[in-house]
Amino acid sequence: MGLPGELAQELVAQTCLGAGTLATRSDKPTGTLRREVCVPGGSTEKAIARLEESHFRLMVREAVESSLKANKAMRFVDGSRE
């Protein structure tokens, strides 16, 4: 989006770190935290709306299911794993 790659990578990493830290230090559900952090009508809210329109949650769920299936299969391929 026009940022140098190194800066974009740092912004992504810091955003993930901040979101993860907030989520692990709060007793609130992540959906509540997101609503509290997002400015109504702001850029993050618009980005999340676009992800929802694109069925992002479904894609993530399917990816996690694929990973779980692969991990379960690996346990049975190598008898030393349990």
- Three-state secondary structure call for residue 18: helix
Measured CA to CA, the distance from residue 44 to residue 55 in angstroms comes to 17
Give, in order, the Cα–Cα distances in Å from 72 to each of 2, 58, 60, 63, 79: 41, 21, 18, 14, 12
Please tell me which residue, 53 or 75, carries the higher pLDDT value: 53
User: pLDDT tens digits for 38-68?
Assistant: 999 999 999 999 999 999 999 999 999 999 9
* Confidence at 1, pLDDT banded by 50, 70, 90: confident
